[in-house]
Amino acid sequence: MICSNASAQSLSAAGKIKNVPDYPAQAGTTQGFAKGSDISWLSEMEASGYEFFNKAGVRQDIFLTLKEQGMNAMRLRVWVNPVDGWNGLPDVLAKAQRAKQAGMRIMIDFHYSDTWADPAHQTKPAAWSQHSIAELRTDIAQHTSATLLALRDAGITPEWVQVGNETNDGMLWDSARPSKSADNMKNYAELTTSAYDAVKQVFPATLVIVHLANCHNNEGFRWIFDGLKKHGGKFDVIGASSYPLEAPGHTWQSANNACLANLNDMTDRYQVPVMVTEVGTPWDHPQAKAILSDVIAKVRSVSQNRGLGVIYWEAQAYKNWKGYSFGAFDSTGKPTEALDAFLH
């Protein structure tokens, strides 16, 4: 399904967006510390009638508002064959075109599923459900390559590509679920390498991220990344999700401290840069700005300047969209004080 947005932007035959705003230039949009948001729900929200406003209450393009709030990067998830089309290739291309037009850096987040992939769900796409591990390596390579070739043909070069989403226990369960058997860590490493190689064949300079949830959990990170290294798994960057108010047994302060300690351990242990590719707080939490400011400061302080950036998860979500209360816009569609953390 090709998804259109509320302002009736469209793709021309040449793959260019028509009727887009004239965005002002912003320093730091092609290098340096990344500050951004996953905005994958955007087209679906717009199709449902949602509108977005700046802090003054003026309706305007969401990308312009996010740039005004200090953001320079956008993250987009990719599902293989989603039932309703959202997050499928046409939808991803349309959003990526808008992000490029806005001068945003782009991260592509492959879930390798027809729906949500996270620590509790890593369901194989229906079309791959009966495939062997050898066939799954081919499936992942072909899906990754086809998606990225379509982006390249549209003139879009992602700066980062995630090969899997929150793969704390591998992906494509149960074929590559390490907790099920020792062989499955090897399978997971092979699938990760297959995806990595596919990315590099299309975009040699793009950084490939392996992403886990629970930034505060060093033991879990060591288990996965030691396993990947043991079996030759390839990655350029370690990505983490950090939801400080949801870390069991932690205050938000101690969760952030544990996250920083883990990120420092990751970059020292594996000699790669790190990034928080998901962060979030309740939109109306009185300390939301302080929590986010602290996360950003801690990632900036990672040893050897190896903290690459911080990406909010669906900042534009509001009015309890799909039951999600961790967006950073208020009930009227304006950015909250939380997003001011990205200004500094």
Tokens of 5: 């947005």
Contacts of 39 (CB under 8 A, 6+ apart): 62, 66, 74, 75, 76, 95, 99, 314, 315, 316
What are the backbone dihedrals phi and psi of residue 44, each rounded to the nearest 5 degrees, phi first? -65, -40
In contact, 294 and 282? CB cutoff 8 Å: no
pLDDT in tens, 188-224: 999 999 999 999 999 999 999 999 999 999 999 999 9
Tokens of 92: 């991803």
Q: What's the CA gap between 4 and 2, in Å, rounded?
A: 7
**In a domain? residue 179:** yes
The neighbouring-strand residues paired with 38 are: 75, 313
Q: What's the CA gap between 43 and 40, in Å, rounded?
A: 7
| CATH code for the domain in which residue 288 is found | 3.20.20.80
The SS3 of residue 115 is coil
Q: What's the CA gap between 142 and 150, in Å, rounded?
A: 12
Contacts of 321 (CB under 8 A, 6+ apart): 41, 45, 50, 327
Q: What's the CA gap between 45 and 42, in Å, rounded?
A: 5
pLDDT in tens, 241-286: 999 999 999 999 999 999 999 999 999 999 999 999 999 999 999 9
**In a domain? residue 105:** yes
Domain interval for residue 158: 32-343
Among 26-30, 283-287, 322-326, whose mean pLDDT is lowest? Answer: 26-30
Q: What does the angle CA 234 – CA 210 – CA 31 come to, to the nearest 5 degrees?
A: 95
Band of the pLDDT at 13, cuts 50, 70, 90? Answer: very low
- Give yes or no for residue 40 having a pLDDT over 90: yes
Inter-CA distances, 317 with 275, 276, 334, 341, Å? 22, 19, 10, 17
Inter-CA distances, 109 with 74, 106, 220, Å? 11, 10, 21
pLDDT in tens, 152-183: 999 999 999 999 999 999 999 999 999 999 89
Q: What's the CA gap between 279 and 123, in Å, rounded?
A: 23
**In a domain? residue 13:** no
Helix (H) / strand (E) element for 64: namely helix 62-68
**In a domain? residue 15:** no
**In a domain? residue 180:** yes
Inter-CA distances, 205 with 77, 199, 200, 216, Å? 20, 9, 7, 30
Placement of tokens 């200004």 in the chain: 343
The confidence score (pLDDT) of residue 182 equals 85
**In a domain? residue 21:** no
Number of domains in the chain: 1
**In a domain? residue 19:** no
Contacts of 310 (CB under 8 A, 6+ apart): 34, 35, 36, 275, 276, 279, 292, 295, 296, 299, 342
**In a domain? residue 22:** no
